[in-house]
Structure 1
Amino acid sequence: MAPILLLLLTAACLQTGNSAAYSRENDYGVNQPAHLSGVQGGSIEFPFSFYFPWELAKNSHMNIAWRWKDYHGEFIYKSTPPFIHEHFKDRLILNWTQGQTSGVLRILNLKETDQTTYFCQVFLQTTEGMMLLQSISGTQLTVTRALRTTMRSPSIITSAVTTAGLEDTGGQRDPSLLILRVMVMMIIVKAVAIIPICGFMIILCWKQRPAE
Structure 2
Amino acid sequence: MALLLSIPGGIRTLDWILLLLLPAACLQAGNSAGSNRERPFGVNQPAQLSGVQGGSIEIPFSFYFPWELAKDPQMRILWKWKHFHGDFIYISSLGFIHEHFKDRLILNWTQPQTSGVLRILDLKEKDQTVYFCRVHLITRGGTESWQSIDGTNLTITHEETSTTIQSPSIVTSAVTTVGLEDTEGQRNPSLVNLGGTVGVVVGTAVLITPVCVLMVVLCWKQRPAD
Q: CA deviation at 1:60?
A: 2.1
- After the TM superposition, which residues 83-102 of structure 1 pair with which residues of structure 2 at under 5 Å, given as runs? 83-102=96-115
Amino acid at match of 1:12: S
CA contact (8 A) 2:81 2:132 kept: yes
Match runs of 1:30-179 below 5 Å: 30-151=43-164, 168=182, 171-172=185-186
- Tell me how far apart the structure 2 counterparts of residues 54 and 46 of structure 1 sit (CA, whole Å): 26
Q: CA deviation at 1:127?
A: 1.1
The structure with the largest alpha-carbon Rg is 2
Equivalent residues of 2:72, 2:138 under 8 A apart? no
Structure 1 stretches of 5 or more lacking a match? Answer: 18-26, 174-212
Q: Among residues 1, 4, 12, which one is paired with 2:35 in the alignment? A: 12
Give CA deviations for 1:114-159 in whole Å, capped at 9, x if unaligned: 1110000010011111110200111111111111124389xxx99x
Number of aligned positions between the proteins: 158
- Give 2:61's aligned amino acid: F
Which residue number corresponds to residue 210 of structure 1?
A: none
Could you tell me whether the CA contact under 8 Å between 2:41 and 2:65 is conserved in 1?
A: yes
Partner of 2:216: none
Q: Distance in 1 between matches of 2:107 and 2:76?
A: 12
Q: Which runs of 4+ in 1 moved over 3 A?
A: 150-153, 161-170
Q: Give 1:167 shift.
A: 5.9
Report the Cα distance in structure 2 between the residues aligned to 1:139 and 1:16, rounded to whole angstroms: 20
Q: Secondary structure at the match of 1:106?
A: strand
CA deviations on 1:1-43 (whole Å, 9 max, x unpaired) are: xxxx8xx77x937x942xxxxxxxxx11111111111111221
User: Alpha-carbon deviation of 1:52?
Assistant: 0.7
Give the Cα separation in 1 of the matches to 2:97 and 2:181.
Answer: 62
State TM-score, norm by structure 1.
0.63
* 1:168/1:97 CA distance change after superposition, 3 Å: farther
RMSD: 3.5
TM-score with structure 2 setting the length: 0.59
Q: Offset of 1:166 from its aligned partner? A: 8.8
Q: Distance in 1 between matches of 2:118 and 2:77?
A: 10
Q: Aligned partners of 1:44 and 1:122: how far apart in 2? A: 21
Identity of aligned residues (%): 64
